[in-house]
Amino acid sequence: MSTLSAFHLLSVLAAEMNMRKASERLFVSQPALSQRLQTIEAEWGTKLFIRSQKGLTLTPAGEIVIKFVNEVLEKEEKVKESISAMNSEVYGTLKIAVANIVSQNWLPKVLKKFVERYPHAKVSLVTGWSSEILRSMYEDHVHIGIVRGTPDWKGIKIPLFEDHLYLVDKEITSPEQVLKTDRPFIQFKSDSNYYQEIQDWWHRQFQTMPKRTIVVDQIETCKQMAFNGIGYAILPAITLNGGEQDIFKIPLLDENDEPLKRDTSLIGYDSAFKLKQVQAFVDLIKEHVKEDEERAKSDNN
């Protein structure tokens, strides 16, 4: 068995910390995996894992070895991507990090097109807040990111779309009614810049704090609570698909009476765009955005 195969085995064990789960991922029996691990540990001259009824635990030496192993495997992946980029077909792994709200409401249609059009390419997807996406980019864990807001990014930045913010409720039909209701304002945890946008609008509009507030950890929970009449919420248009029943949507306006918008952008370093799988994905996204714009114009006419 080659060194890289052994490294892959160790990486899977460290990820799963469980012999049964690791053996299932590696398509080998547990006894065979155990025997191979003993051989690898003998080659390193030390124990890398400690077994217990709860699973596996890395030894201090194991932590050092696994760190080295993962670094080598990451470099191997980049070498493979460089080789694949020389070929005409789109191969390699597309590593993307996407803001939660985009991954839930917009990205699935794009990814469906991508995997159907490029069956040889793989996709590695990470989701999180935009601040976490930026961190993944800075640490070179992914090729490209899709973020919300206006991040300070020095690399390539491609605007994708913008959506308006709405006050959403089953009863409230104008912002002024917020001051009269005893029902709660439902908020979802988000990046500080998005939170600040909402706070700025609220204070311009009302010069006071909400009477009652409920904070939830997911935007979908926030949306469903508002749709079920528990309270009112402020949601971006990307979460509203037009099929809502008996829901009032009041657009938020800035200090110039212009609609308050939320930008979505694709970011990356120039080197990543030279990879065929990345360029193919970016081209497909541009195509998808153009189709959405044309569809929106058609609906408005």
pLDDT higher than 90, residue 186: yes
- Are residues 131 and 200 in contact, defined by beta-carbon separation less than 8 angstroms? no
pLDDT of residue 218: 87
pLDDT of residue 7: 94
Structure confidence at residue 295 as a pLDDT band (50, 70, 90): confident
pLDDT higher than 70, residue 86: no
| DSSP category for residue 67 | H
Among residues 186, 191, 230, which one has the least CA distance to residue 212?
A: 186
Average pLDDT over residues 142-148: 95
Domains annotated for the chain, with CATH where assigned, are 3-85 (1.10.10.10), 93-161+263-300 (3.40.190.10), 163-262 (3.40.190.290)
| pLDDT single digits (tens) 243-259 | 677 899 999 998 888 99
The residues, ordered by sequence, that sit 6+ positions from 197 with a Cβ below 8 Å of its Cβ are: 165, 260, 262
**What is this structure's pTM?**
0.70
The residue length of the chain stands at: 301
pLDDT > 70 fraction of the chain, expressed in percent and rounded: 96
| pLDDT single digits (tens) 62-85 | 999 999 999 999 999 888 877 776
pLDDT > 90 fraction of the chain, expressed in percent and rounded: 63
pLDDT higher than 80, residue 241: no
pLDDT higher than 60, residue 1: no
The two three-digit tokens of residue 33, written as one number: 């995996």
Please report, in angstroms and rounded to a whole number, the separation of the first and last CA atoms in the chain. 64
On average, the pLDDT of the chain sits at: 90
Residue with the larger pLDDT of the pair 211 and 243: 211
Distance CA 260, CA 163 (A): 9
pLDDT higher than 80, residue 2: no
